[in-house]
Amino acid sequence: MKTAILVPCYNESATIEKVVKDFKEIMPHADVYVYDNNSTDSSDEIARKAGAIVKYEYKQGKKCCKINV
């Protein structure tokens, strides 16, 4: 069975690298998906470099999020 970790992200450039690396350390078998929600900083690139699979959700807010794993 495969495990997916879903992390919502909006302008989290200061913290996203640690979040991704911590999840990968604790659960190395899991895929970490970061769902960028229109960030204006470099959150997506930082997450990708940390090892996350980055997806984009352009509609803002929790109610608009959907799972496209």
pLDDT at 57: 87
Q: Give Cα 40 distance to the centre of its chain.
A: 15
Q: How many CB atoms lie within 10 A of CB 9?
A: 27
CA 1, CA 22: separation in Å to the nearest integer? 21
pTM of the model: 0.85
pLDDT at 62: 61
Residue 58 pLDDT > 70: yes
% of residues, the chain, pLDDT over 70:
87
- Over residues 8-40, the pLDDT tens digits come to 999 999 999 999 999 999 999 999 999 999 999
Residue 66 pLDDT > 60: no
